[in-house]
């Protein structure tokens, strides 16, 4: 199934980081959801920043616009704040994309476990990424 691009993807201003604060917030929100849905669709779990610039997500060849490296960093930072991204190295060149946040995964698995067996106990470990099954 081909990926459905959101309307913003074909709107040239989408690829320019907006100076107006309110506009920028809306813009970044749209970028975040686009990155996550694209990664989910393509089953991508990691992203390399330099490669990302050439990826169709950040580079719309049809309208000849692409997001600058600085802007990509801003989008990634936004994703990180939301909990959807984790940097894999100190240089911030490679990252983990979690199109479902750990807590979300946890909930899903817990619910599945309940359905499956009726017995499940949630035990948190470290960052809350662990679920123990009984």
Partner 1 sequence: MDRFVWTNGLLEMNETLVIQQRGVRLYDGDDKECCICIPLSQVIFFEEQAAGIGKSAKIVIHLHPAPENKEPGPYQHSKYSYIKLSFKEHGQIEFFRRLTEEMTQKRWENTPVSQPIPTGIGPKAGRTRAVGIVGIERKLEEKRKETDKNISEAFEDLSKLMEKTIRFKSYLLSMGIANPVTRETHGSGTQYHIQLAKQLGDMLQAPLEERGGMMALTEVYCLVNRARGMELLSPEDLVNACKMFESLKLPLRLRVFDSGVMVVQLQSHSEEEMIASALDNVSDKGSLTAEEFAKLLGLSVLLAKERLLLAEKMGHLCRDDSVEGLRFYPNRF
With CB under 8 A as the contact rule, the residue among 5, 30, 37, 78 that binds partner 1 is: 30
Find, among 14, 7, 89, 77, the residue nearest to 48 by Cα.
89
3 near 56, Cβ under 8 Å?
A: no
Tokens standing for residue 45: 């779990």
On the 0-12 / 13-18 / 19+ scale of CB atoms within 10 A, 20 is: exposed
Residue whose CB is less far from partner 1, 46 or 68: 68
Residue 20 touching partner 1 (CB under 8 A): yes
Q: Among 3, 6, 12, 48, which residue interacts with partner 1 (rule: CB under 8 A)?
A: 12
- Contacts to partner 1 from residues 43-72, by CB under 8 A: 64-65
Residue ranges in contact with partner 1 by CB under 8 A: 7-8, 11-13, 15-16, 18-20, 22-23, 26-27, 30, 64-65
């Amino acid at each position: 199934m081909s990926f459905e691009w959101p309307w913003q993807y074909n709107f040239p201003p989408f690829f320019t980081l907006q100076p107006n604060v309110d506009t920028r917030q809306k813009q970044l929100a749209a970028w975040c959801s686009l990155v996550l849905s694209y990664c989910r669709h393509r089953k991508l779990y990691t992203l390399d920043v330099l490669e990302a610039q050439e990826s169709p997500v950040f580079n719309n060849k049809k309208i000849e616009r692409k997001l600058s490296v600085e802007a990509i960093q801003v989008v990634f930072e936004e994703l990180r704040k939301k909990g959807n991204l984790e940097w894999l190295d100190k240089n911030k060149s490679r990252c983990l994309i979690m199109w479902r946040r750990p807590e979300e995964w946890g909930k899903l698995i817990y619910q599945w476990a309940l359905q499956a067996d009726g017995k499940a106990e949630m035990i948190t470990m470290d960052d809350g990424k662990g679920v123990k099954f009984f």
